[in-house]
Each structure stands twice: as structure tokens, then as C-alpha cells.
Amino acid sequence: MSGYDVIIVGGGPAGLAAGLYTARMDLKAVLLDRGPLGGQLLNTELIEDYPGFESILGSELAVKMGDHARKFGLEIRDFEPVKEIDVEDGAKVVRLESGEELRAPAVIMAAGGLPRYLEVPGEKEFWGRGVSYCAVCDGAFFKGEELAVVGGGDAAVEEGDFLTRYASKVYIIHRRNELRAQPILVDRARANPKIEFILDAVVKDIKGDQKVRALDYEHRGHVTELPVGGVFIFVGFVPNSMLLKMHVDHDDAGYITTDRNMQTSVDGIWAVGDVRSQLTKQIATAAGDGTTAAVAASNYVSALKDAARA
């Protein structure tokens, strides 16, 4: 036994909020993250919709949230990828890629997810050579080039706007006639002279030699080649629910379903943030999920300890 009360898997805003509250409630908790602390915060340059901050860099908010949780004693282990989560004799077992096993009565699943692929020819071939899923990470490599952004939601429009600080031109390509992004983001992008929208268009393939040189898109039955030096893809999210070895109830898209306390269908496992089936994916709602799960997990662990003493 590793002696933890709670193991938190994932270091985005949901996991960090859960870590803060479990630590404040004097539980022995550890937070594991497969990469640098922050989750999707690190893929967002500027955040303007988190209460208390008119605007703040995503990376800065990640540092602040991590420091806050550490202040109350949370153990944080970043760059510590989890292989799987299982249940053995009532205990939750978290197996790491390193081979180490951690055990606790409670697990808070905050592992978020991964970008959804377009699944078109050339996408995998040119990944890292012009195809990217993170504008903040890779935008600076494309100074002066014309770029394509694929998608119509908040991420696509916001990151397309961000890319104009480097690119000479950004084409935002969306398969529908209307964008799904918030109106304030759409208005800002439409006012940017470097952005052009290509709507009702479907990307068919990505082409190049040693790097991306162009893509083909279809609009009303006609295929057009668009010369671009990079393609940034923001077409959705695939939840990391596959880490759970046992069956956990989920929706048709793979997002874990929970009750109002973030409890999954497995006793002692909670799901929070982007891995959970919910109306919206925002930093504020993720933090709320993490807080709720932390309180519920604390009550659960306390009940187990009381029962063991009885």
C-alpha cells in the first residue's frame, strides 16, 4: 500500500482544484500528470473568462494553481504518465508507465483527453512537419507563412486569431455554414484583416514534401487546392476514459457519466473536467467539478476510516 487517501489523475484545472481541496481537508493526496502541470491551460495563450482575472496567460494560471495547491501540502508528480486504473479487493490501483503501483481508497479521474484527428490522408504523415494541434506550442515556427485552421468552435477561432501574430494569413475552414464559437470570439476574428473564413468546406487531404505545402478542401462538390505552410486542427476532443480498466458508465462519445457529486458508476472513483460528460468545457466548470469531487471523496474516505475504527 502506498498510503494515500486520494490519487488524482490529471493536472489541469479540475485536477488542481481537486488537489487543493483534498490537501486543505488534510487528506494524503497525490496528483499525477503525464506532462507539465496545467493540462489544456497550456494550450491557451490568453484566458479572459476565468472569474477574478480580466485576462491571464494560460501558463501563468497553471503555475498559480499549482503553487496554491502545493502550499497546502499536495504532492504533485508531473511527467508521470499513468498506464491504467483498476480495482483490487476494494482498493483503487493506479499503475504508472514506470511500473510503479499506487493504491488508495479513492481516485479522482481528471485526465482530460487528446485532440480528435481529422482522419484525412497526410495528417499523420505530416504531424510535426506542418500539422499541429496546438497553436500556442507551434505557432512561432510559422512566421510569415499562410496557415489553415480546421474547426469551427472556440478553440479553432481563438487559436486562429492567435496565429495571426506570426502568420501572414490564416484561413479558418469549417464544414458547416455557421461557426459554433462564442460570438465575441467570432466578432474578434472577423475584424482581423489577416483571417479569412472558408465555410461549408471539408478538408480532403494534406499535401507536401518534407513539410506541408497545401491542402485540398471540397466546397459544394468542387475541390480546391489551398497553398499553406501549416495546418492547425481543432475538431474536437477524445476523452482519456480508456485509462480505466474496469467498466465505467459513459455516453456515446466516451465521456464518463457521473452523478451530481461527480461519482462514477464505480464506487470510490470520481470523474471531473473534460473527461466527464457535461454541458460545457470551461476552466471555471472544471474547477467546480474538482472541488465537488474533493469534498465527496473526503466524505467517502472519512466514512471508511470511521467504519474501520468501529
Q: Please confirm, yes or no, whether 137 is among the known catalytic residues.
A: yes
Q: What angle do CA 228, 230, 232 make, to 5 degrees?
A: 120
Of 156, 268, 175, 274, the residue nearest 217 (C-alpha) = 175
Please list the residues that pair with 6 across neighbouring strands.
29, 106
Catalytic hit among 78, 86, 134, 205: 134
C-alpha grid cell, residue 159: 487559436
Residue with cell string 480546421:
150
Beta bridge partners of 102: 94
Instruction: Report how far residue 235's alpha carbon sits from residue 230's, in angstroms, rounded to the nearest whole number.
Output: 16
Whether residue 83 contacts residue 68, with contact meaning beta carbons closer than 8 Å, is answered with no
- Alpha carbons 203 and 118: distance in angstroms, whole number: 8
Query: 252 catalytic, yes or no?
Result: no
Where would I find the beta strands (DSSP E) of 78-156? 82-88, 91-96, 101-104, 106-109, 113-115, 131-132, 146-150
The active-site residue, picked from 78, 138, 205, 216, is: 138
Out of 49, 67, 137, 187, which one is annotated catalytic? 137
Amino acid at the residue 163: L
Distance of CA 158 to the CA centre of its chain: 15
**CB 8 within 8 Å of CB 55:** no
Q: Is 134 tagged catalytic?
A: yes
Q: Which helix (H) or strand (E) holds 202?
A: strand 202-208
**Active site amino acids:** 134, 137-138
